[in-house]
Amino acid sequence: KELVRYALSINPNTHSWLIIQADIYFATNQYSAALHYYLQAGAVCSDFFNKAVPPDVYTDQVIKRMIKCCSLLNCHTQVAILCQFLREIDYKTAFKSLQEQNSHDAMDSYYDYIWDVTILEYLTYLHHKRGETDKRQIAIKAIGQTELNASNPEEVLQLAAQRRKKKFLQAMAKLYF
């Protein structure tokens, strides 16, 4: 713990040390601090998320820890969005988190960060089932964005995903930095 703190005092922009610091906070149940360092690790190697975070920095293991942190902080919409970052989207976790009633994040304000239409369709269904007409309309509007159309070429869909990842990670950084 002290060694990592010392290493970061010498070179605060080394993503591997930042990930280790985040892992230490994660292991000691300090989830907000862990998210801070996971996000900082991504920010330092991506020009504050203006470039894609390298997959060797945001591995599935790191993303899963970020998901766990958000879940334990009752930020369930953030959980669902992070589930899209995994190599294979974790629909089970995403859907389960969206069903939670006690979310401490601004659920519908995050819909613009979702690029997976299946998750957006599930949100529409969920809001309809709950009688939440306004939130359902927001989800429908998000689904209707032309860049998410399944008929688009793969590069258009990838660009839409990259843009949403960037904006989401920047928004998360504002929350946890």
- pLDDT value at position 3? 83
Q: What is the pTM of this model?
A: 0.93
**Per-residue model confidence (pLDDT) at position 75:** 95
Per-residue CA distances from 116 to 4, 84, 92, 144, 151 (Å)? 37, 7, 14, 12, 14
pLDDT band for 104, please (50, 70, 90 cuts).
confident
As a whole number of angstroms, the distance between CA 75 and CA 150 comes to 29
Average pLDDT over residues 151-166: 95
In angstroms, rounded to a whole number, what is the distance separating the alpha carbons of residues 81 and 74?
Answer: 14
Q: What is the pLDDT of residue 4?
A: 82
**In percent, how much of the chain has pLDDT > 70?**
100
Confidence of residue 8 (pLDDT cuts 50, 70, 90): confident
Question: E strand or H helix at 114, and its extent?
Answer: none
